[in-house]
Amino acid sequence: MLMDYNTTDIKPLLEKFWAGETSSHEENWLKKFFNENPSPKGMEEDAMYFLALSSSCSMRLDSSFDHELMSRIRNKEQRTTAFRWTLRIAASVIFIVGLVTVSQWVFKTDEPPVQITQTTNTTQPVDLEVMRAFEQTKSALLLISSKLNKGQEQTMMLSKFDEAQVRIKPTSEQ
Amino acid sequence: MTTAEFQLNVLPLKNKLYAFACRLLTNAEEARDTVQEVMLKMWESGKPLADYENIEAWCMTMVRNRSLDKIRVGNIRQQHLKVIHRGKRFEKPHSEKMELQEMVQHVIRFMNTLPVVQRELVELRDFQEKSYEELVEITGLEMSQVKVYLHRARKTIREKITELNAYGLQHN
């Protein structure tokens, strides 16, 4: 890479560098040049900058950083897994409770009379409103049946007209 | 992202992120905490690895934003960070080596006294050798701004080196 430029190109290249206009390729070339020529004549001050770049590095993070970070990550991972399991269990419980509630509701609405007879037979506390409704329906049905009986008695009277008609007919023919 | 993916793709970036955070915050403990916070946040996000276009640039941006927040709050204690010297030039007699190390320490100190936007560009471009496109991505600055700030930063350091040479180490 060093062969791409002549040493006479250094000065203009340095000017370009300080102006912030050099490419990565040119900067790498300058770094290599100053590494091979630590203190070229007339460029000592420029060389200082490149010496600082190539000969120093910031502090590094040792393996204790890795251990600390990874243990924190594993702790978080375990907590996340536990939380997910809790969520799954909670969701299952909610699902089962929901299923039971819905099935009970369906059972109630499909067979209401059975419910009433069951409750009366087993002498369990019965819903007051249901009982009232049952009593009202019963009395209403009794009322209808009594009226029907009365009507039936009255219709029996109609046969008397037939008898009268039969008796009248022969006398009118004579 | 699984823990294994995290260990393979994110954890190896720790030193680059740490160097960047050190340059911004000039405080080793704060820089360490910042890198840890960013890495934890990344893992917690649960985003798949494939969703990151450039994971290194993403982490750098996160470190930058977190560091700038800390600087804004303003309770960062500035430290003279210890610099590790390397290279053949330091394999010299003790007195010469000390002088060289002192010079380098001065140049690093000049860098660390630059405005934060300039020193982050020096770190990313001159130390970590990132492309201008990456500088734009990480800092969110315009390309023209990146070049202007980098020019100002280098110019300032160059002038301070000239002053240092003119007046000698004892005056700085």
> Residue A117 and residue A126: Cα distance in Å, rounded?
10
Domain B94-167 has CATH 1.10.287.70: no
User: How many other C-beta atoms can be found within 10 angstroms of the C-beta atom of residue A148?
Assistant: 9
Average pLDDT, integer, range B163-169: 77
Average pLDDT, integer, range B64-93: 75
Topology, domain B3-73? Rna Polymerase Sigma Factor; Chain: A (1.10.1740)
Q: What is the pLDDT of residue B49?
A: 86
Could you report the predicted ipTM of this complex, rounded to two decimals?
0.78
Please say if the pLDDT value at position A31 is more than 50: yes
Which residue of A lies nearest to B46 if distances are taken between CA atoms?
A77
Poorest-pLDDT segment among A13-27, A43-57, A107-121: A107-121
Å between B26 CA and nearest CA of chain A: 11
Burial per residue of A69-89, b for 16 or more beta-carbon CB atoms within 10 angstroms, e otherwise: bbeebeeeeeeeeeeeeeeee
B3-73 and B94-167 have identical folds? no
Q: What residues does A121 pair with on adjacent strands?
A: none
Q: What is the pLDDT of residue A2?
A: 52
Side chain identity at A140, as an amino acid letter? A
Rg over CA atoms, chain A: 55
pLDDT band at A57 (very low <50, low <70, confident <90, very high): low
Residues of B in contact with A24 (CB under 8 A): 129, 131
The residues spanned by each domain of chain B are 3-73, 94-167
Tokens linked to B107: 């140049």
Q: Which of B29, B12, B10, B31 is nearest to B20 (CA)?
A: B31
Instruction: Collect all residues with Cβ–Cβ distance below 8 Å to B22 and sequence separation of at least 6.
Output: A58, A59, B28, B31, B81
Q: How far is the CA of B39 from the CAs of A121, B33, B73, B158, in angstroms?
A: 71, 10, 21, 36
Q: If you write DSSP's letter for every residue of A31-50 in order, what string do you get?
A: HHHHHHSSS-TT-HHHHHHH
Please say if the pLDDT value at position A3 is more than 70: no
Quick: pLDDT tens for B18-47.
Answer: 999 988 998 889 999 999 999 999 988 888
Q: What is the pLDDT of residue B169?
A: 53
Q: What is the pLDDT of residue B87?
A: 65
Q: What is the pLDDT of residue A167?
A: 77
**Mutation for B interface: A1, A35, A37, A59, most B CBs within 10 A:** A59
Q: Which of residues 71-110 of B touch A (CB under 8 A)?
A: 81-87, 89-90, 100, 103-104, 107-108
Tokens linked to A53: 């770049």
Q: What is the pLDDT of residue A125?
A: 60
Instruction: Collect all residues with Cβ–Cβ distance below 8 Å to B156 and sequence separation of at least 6.
Output: B110, B114, B118
CB contact under 8 A, A18 and B158: yes
Quick: pLDDT tens for A67-78.
Answer: 999 999 888 878
> Residue B122 and residue B20: Cα distance in Å, rounded?
10
Q: Which of A141, A144, A117, A143 is nearest to A130 (CA)?
A: A117
CB-CB contact of B47 with B1 (8 Å): yes
Please say if the pLDDT value at position A171 is more than 80: no
Q: What is the pLDDT of residue B73?
A: 85
Model pTM score: 0.65
Q: What does DSSP assign to residue A7?
A: G
